[in-house]
Structure 1
Amino acid sequence: MNSQKEELQDRAIVRIAAHLPDLIVYGDICPERPSVDYFDGVLMFVDISGFTAMTEKFSTAMYMDRGAEQLVEILNHYISAIVESDALLALWKVERKQLKNMITVVVKCSLEIHELFGAQESEGLDVRVKIGLAAGHISMLVFGDETRNFFLVIGQTVNDVRLAQNMAHMNDVILSPNCWQLCDRSMIEIERIPDQRAVKVNFLKLPPTFNFDEFFTKCMTFMDYYPSGDNKNLLRLACMLESDPHLEMSLQKYVMESISKQIDDKQLRGYLSELRPVTIVFVNLVFKDQDKVEVISSAIQDASVHISSVLRDLRGQINKVFMFDKTRAFHDCAALIH
């Protein structure tokens, strides 16, 4: 049985799916670009402090002999509980009526992340986090051309989670106003933030007879593609995907060429991490109407196709697409894609 699982997990489609969220892996394969999907969910925005300093440390001369390898080891050992980046946007897609219970699950997840990293030191560098949570309506935009696809989650809820995270200090969990309105207030002890409708989570106040494991299992029955039954020990069902050339070709368009090559060569071990000099160009787009998804989707599609064509001629490629300005307070939506 184990050999069968190992054979499944060694398939190219599984290695590609490991770099993509279930929203894409199990989403509709629609040739039309741009395309927009609408749903409800809970968002967690995690900012990781110390990762940039750790990266710089391992890229200095004294570590050049095996700096990248050491960084990969650190990432796999410490950061694998979160992500290999300095920020994470996590999404739980559920029906509207399940938001209240799912917020409780995500709050507990957030507190456990803080517990794990609160006093953790990695090679003399603190790695700490601050977290913002939001819940409500979310839109997903898929755009691209014949060679590359990208996706964004956008809307007011994404805006709210970014603002909540901006209010957080290290080791804080902040609920957006809508998240606080939708949650089960009997389960969450909070602290008011002066002049703000967002609130800070102090702790979960679970009744003495409350069985969180049973509560969690019940909540997960409403999550699409969550491992259960014989697959309950799997991190994701995507690691058991059967070969499907059409789906594999579709998913591969979301992966950068450099990553795709390493997947094909089976070079990946743990997280994919590289330390190498690069030249980066930031392109800032300003939209006349940022409140309508249908309006900005067309503009983003046209811009991405044009920019990709220019970069491709110069052997470059789009690495990240996000809908906020890191240098100032933003006012629309946020997402991070690579």
Structure 2
Amino acid sequence: DVFKFAGDAVLVLWRAPPRELAKTISLVLQCSRQIQRKCGNRDTHVGQKIQLKIGISAGPMDLLVVGDRRRQYFLICGEALDEVCEAEELANAGEVILSATSWELCEQHRLRTRRLAGKRAVKVGGWHGLPVAMPSRRVSPGYRHGTDVLARTPRPGWWSHPALVFQLDDRVPLDLFSELRPVTSLFVQLHLTAGISTVDIRTLIHDASRMMLEILCPHKGEINKIVLFDKGCMFLCVFGLSGEKLPYESIHALQSAIQIFNSCSTMLLEIEAVSVAVTSGMAFCGVTGHPLRHEYTVIGQKVNLAARMMVHYPGLVSCDAVTYASSRLPPYYFKELLEKKMKGLSHPATLYQYVGITEKR
């Protein structure tokens, strides 16, 4: 099942009892081969080539459901998730990498592999005799063992954007939800302490999401996505979606950002630091995925920029030049940041730290 979209990455999850993990990994490898053949290389109309890489891991995982009656978010966590992120990072374009645990559990006699220097993960060079299908059977929801693939959605009916619930019930065609519109994106990253338990993670995300919604709602902001993934615990919040547009949107976003930063820093335990980034600009807002597994999201260069800023400027509230200019706030609300090299951005415009109103000023 396609479990989660996160930017240019997709998390796919197989659930299976422990005794069937070896056969399930073989099935996953068969799927990976077909995915690489069909989607491994693709040319876009703007001349950019898209290449695919795949990481595979296996083991126990915990399914977390956080939120309230109005909004529900599905997450998984566990060592297997950490391993699949590591395997994907080790992979180059066109490659399939097995994590150390999935290599120990798989049907090794069927595979041709190569060890990665200094790593326990292995690169899959080929395979023979892999199954083309698994026996049809029902898997109890109680099983918490599984195999997951990270290839650089929630269940149907679960939507984080409450404005869409009525239209979905009326079965409006999904393509009518999609549009290009100017929005402001706000990324929040919570740096979790090492060794935090699953119970504490669930409590922390529940408390953080509730706290953020209390801050965002008066400013017409929404939590669009919560992700436990390759960038740790991350929240994507959006201002300016359909029916929620306000004047002076940049000010609303910056004020929300500094409140979220201060509240999370002082009130949440089990975190080492908070990073927040704000950008403004045109983005695709709409439905991505398959008709049976899809979600409402925002995609665009400015969204990517906010994600990069969140990672490269930790422990503060950062914003781009467009947000800085459109807010029309006095310059002493900001500090200019040193330029850093960020993936996919050769020469980003000037970036700023938003400090808000301080006692000194």
Common topology (TM > 0.5): yes
Kindly provide the CA deviation profile for residues 135-155 of structure 1, in whole angstroms up to 9, marking residues without a partner as x: 000001111123211121001
Matches within 5 A, 1:296-335: 296-324=201-229, 326=231
SS in structure 2 at match of 1:291: coil
Once the two structures are superposed, residues 254-287 of structure 1 have per-residue CA deviations (whole angstroms, 9 ceiling, x without a partner) of: 4422443542453334696443221111222233
Tell me how many residue pairs correspond in the alignment: 221
> 1:188 and 2:111 equivalent?
yes
1:112 corresponding residue in structure 2? 34
- The structure whose residues are more often strand, as a share, is 2
- Tell me what 2:186 maps to: 281
SS at match of 1:140: strand
Q: Does 1:168 align with 2:91?
A: yes
Match of 2:73 in 1: 150
Larger helix share, 1 or 2: 1
Partner Cα separation in structure 1 for residue 75 and residue 193 of structure 2: 19
Structure-2 separation of matches of 1:221 and 1:149: 28
Deviations 1:278-325 (A, max 9, x none): 111122223345431112211211111111121112111111112356
Q: Is the contact made by 1:187 and 1:204 (CA closer than 8 Å) also made in structure 2?
A: yes
**Letter of the structure 2 residue corresponding to residue 99 of structure 1:** L
Look up the match of 1:232.
none
Classify 1:301/1:222 alpha carbon distance in 2 versus 1 (closer, same or farther; 3 Å). same
| Preserved contact between residue 111 and residue 128 of structure 2 (Cα < 8 Å) | yes
- Per-residue CA deviation, residues 41-73 of structure 1 (Å, 9 max, x unaligned), is xxxx9xxxxxxxxxxxxxxxxxxxxxxxxxxxx
User: Runs of 5+ in structure 1 lacking a partner?
Assistant: 1-20, 24-44, 46-82, 226-249
**1:116 positional shift:** 0.8
Amino acid of the structure 1 residue aligned with 2:125: N
Where do residues 177-326 of structure 1 align in structure 2 (5 Å cutoff)?
177-206=100-129, 212-213=131-132, 216-218=133-135, 220-221=136-137, 223=139, 252=157, 254-269=159-174, 273-288=178-193, 290-324=195-229, 326=231
| Greater relative CO (CA pairs within 8 A, separation 6+) | 1
Asked if residue 131 in structure 1 is aligned to residue 54 in structure 2, the reply is yes
Amino acid in structure 1 at the alignment position of 2:107: D
3-state DSSP of counterpart to 1:284: strand
CA RMSD of aligned residues (A): 3.2
Distance (Å, rounded) in 2 between the aligned partners of 1:271 and 1:116: 28
User: C-alpha separation between the residues in 2 aligned to 1:114 and 1:300?
Assistant: 34
Amino acid at match of 1:92: W
Residue 101 of structure 1 corresponds to: 23
Aligned CA distance change for structure 1 residues 112 and 144 (closer, same or farther; 3 Å)? same
**Distance (whole Å) between structure 1 residues aligned to residue 219 and residue 175 of structure 2:** 31
The 8 Å contact of residues 147 and 253 in structure 1, kept in 2 or not, is answered as: no
Taking structure 1 as reference, are residues 253 and 92 closer, same or farther at Cα in structure 2, changes over 3 Å only? closer
> In 2, are the aligned partners of 1:172 and 1:201 still within 8 Å (CA)?
yes
Q: 1:319 to 1:292 in 2, by over 3 A?
A: same
Of 159, 167, 178 in structure 1, the residue corresponding to residue 82 of structure 2 is 159
Give the Å deviation of 1:191: 1.4
The answer to whether the 8 A contact 1:133-1:165 is kept is: yes
Q: 1:289 to 1:164 in 2, by over 3 A?
A: closer
Aligned-pair identity in percent equals: 31
TM-score by length of 1: 0.58
* Corresponding residue of 2:308: none
Q: CA deviation at 1:186?
A: 1.1
Residues 2, 12 of structure 2: 8 Å contact kept: no
Partner SS, residue 267 of structure 1:
coil
Q: Equivalents in 1 of 2:30, 2:56: separation in Å?
A: 12
Distance in 2 (alpha carbons) for counterparts of 1:147 and 1:193: 46
Contact 2:71 2:162 in 1 (8 A): no
Cα 1:251–1:143 change in 2 (3 A) is farther
Distance 1:271 1:90 in 2: 27
1:275 partner SS: strand
CA positional deviation for 1:85: 5.3
Q: Is the 8 A contact 1:133 1:161 kept in 2?
A: yes
Q: SS of the residue aligned with 2:22?
A: helix
